[in-house]
Amino acid sequence: MQKKDFSDGPCPVARTLGVVGDWWSLLIVRDALNGVRRFNDFHRGLGCAKNILSSRLAKLVEHGVLRTVPASDGSPYREYELTEEGKGLRLVLLALRQWGEDNLFEPGERRTTAVDRASGRPLAPLEMRDADGRPLGPDDVEVRAPAP
């Protein structure tokens, strides 16, 4: 994230990582998706240095992932709210979550789980699908360079 700048490159993956590709940004978005809105709540939940949190929040606001709003209750402070753009990152977070569940946990180990609010059951694994909605296997996909 530091020196290299892919923000004008042709790869959407690299551009996205330019916005949320550092250690804290996606964890901030994760907490924001869970309803966290206040500086100190992010700070406590993440345990990251306050100056870093401050700069990350500013960067996310700058890129339109978060916006600041005056106050939700009567308190005189502002809060951080996900934009629609920011909410779109829930798919990224879910993909990261499912990969971690599958590969980084022992069976039976304690973990947080994303569930369907209505039924309380865990979500289905994400699937790649073609334009008609048919599931695609690992080798059915390739990345094409842009037209010249």
Partner DNA sequence: CTCTCCCGGTTTCGACATTAAACCGAGAGG
Partner DNA sequence: CCTCTCGGTTTAATGTCGAAACCGGGAGAG
What are the residues binding DNA (CB under 7 A)?
1-4, 22-24, 38-41, 47-52, 54-55, 57-58, 75-79
Cβ proximity to DNA: between 70 and 146 the closer is: 70
Cβ proximity to DNA: between 49 and 123 the closer is: 49
> Mapping DSSP to helix (H, G, I), strand (E, B) and coil, where does residue 117 land?
coil
Asked if 89 touches a second copy (CB under 8 A), the answer is yes
Q: What's the CA dihedral at 16, 20, 22, 23 to 10 degrees?
A: -140
Residue located via tokens 């700048």: 5
Instruction: In whole angstroms, give the CA distance from residue 80 to residue 64.
Output: 11
Asked if 88 touches a second copy (CB under 8 A), the answer is yes
Contact window for a second copy (CB under 8 A) among 36-44, 54-62, 73-81, 140-148: 140-148
